[in-house]
Chains A and B, each alone.
Chain A
Amino acid sequence: MQDLSLHILDVAENGIQAGASLIRIEVDEDTRADILEITLEDNGRGMDSEFLAKVLDPFVTTRTTRKVGLGLSLFQQAAREADGDLTIASTPGVGTTVHVTMRHSHIDRKPMGDMADTLTALIEGNPDVDLVYVHRKDGSEYVLDTRELRAELEDVPLNHPSVARLIHDNVESSLKELMRG
């Protein structure tokens, strides 16, 4: 994985595979405290403590769960290389939260990458799942909530090509503005 937006796509897809109807993604960039935090929360089926204990070990997971183990362990490795870590909390029947921290200015911290492509791929590819994206940087924030879009669109689906393009362009231009500060 070349950048954080691909890791985020990967973990969010895990949540969707786990039957989530709502995925919440938060990216918090605090350059003064030199911290980059990423939180992914889903309301999927969750994991029991036995599975949770081995989910970060790429060599323990079985064939059917291999995908989960590998993706999360790669993300954890990326976090640790940037002076941070990845932790997971999960409750069966309630959902899973993945929390990642990194030192923002660390030379080995992967770049954010293209969040517009990641969010559009998630929304367009899974139009029945709702997604909330919050990106904060030093006090400013951008929020995308598909529940609001859905209410406004009424019977036009979220994966309609025009809607997907609108979402993509809005995320792209808003995040560009957010990064300029």
Chain B
Amino acid sequence: MPKISIEDLKKIKERERGRMILREGEYRAKITVHMGTCGIAAGAREVMTLFRDVIGQRDIDDVILTNSGCAGLCAKEPMITVEVKGQSPVKYILVDREKAMRIFEDHVLGGKPVEEYALAKGSETAAT
């Protein structure tokens, strides 16, 4: 079976030498996809793939994609948390392809949270 080629890795390494943006904290935004059992069953992995694809298509290298466990609101999954540098984190609920793309454009790149998709204030304990 073809292993990942050393050449491909070297190419990435050489290219990134000059522009190491993904250093400690040196990013424009971080997207956290909640990957508990509830999130995975509701489509969290697909949401992560969507973001990976759009980041790749546009050759963006200062947006970090990461994951975390169950956030305790299983009925609202898939959930993501978007942290734009210098701003408060925002949790989004029931994320699908359409919402993900709008959140990416408006909030991750534009810096403006999409209020209608965000977890409403005061509903943190309403797990229904």
Contact = CB atoms under 8 A, between A and B. Distances in A.
Contacts of B37: 10, 67, 70-71, 74
A109 B41 CA distance: 18
A94 B10 CA distance: 35
Interface residues of A, number: 46
B3 interface: yes
Interface string A145-166: 0000100111111011111111
A124 B66 CA distance: 6
B13 A125 contact: no
Interface string B1-41: 11110101110110110001010000000000101111011
A60 interface: no
Contacts of A71: 37
Interface size class of B (residues with CB under 8 A): 35 or more
Interface string A64-104: 00010011001000000000000000000000000000000
B65 A124 contact: yes
Interface string A31-60: 000000000000000000000000000000
A161 B45 contact: no
Contacts of B46: 117
Contacts of A10: 37, 40
Interface in A126-181: 126-127, 140-144, 149, 152-157, 159-168, 170, 173-174, 177-178
A125 B16 contact: no
Given A161-B52, A161-B55, A168-B52, A143 B2 contact: no
A160 B67 contact: no
Contact of A1 (B6, B40, B49, B65): B40
A166 B38 contact: no
B41 A6 contact: yes
A97 B69 CA distance: 20
B22 A157 contact: yes
Contacts of B49: 117, 120-121
Nearest to B2: A174
A120 B48 CA distance: 9
B69 A166 contact: no
Interface in A1-21: 1, 6, 9-10, 13, 17
Contacts of A120: 49, 52
6 contacts: A9-B40, A71-B37, A117-B45, A152-B6, A165-B52, A166-B9
The 7 closest A-B pairs by CB, nearest first: A125-B67, A71-B37, A142-B1, A152-B9, A170-B4, A174-B1, A67-B70
Interface of A: 1, 6, 9-10, 13, 17, 67, 70-71, 74, 114, 117-118, 120-121, 124-127, 140-144, 149, 152-157, 159-168, 170, 173-174, 177-178
Given A9-B40, A13-B69, A143-B1, 5 more contacts: A17-B69, A70-B37, A120-B52, A149-B9, A166-B4
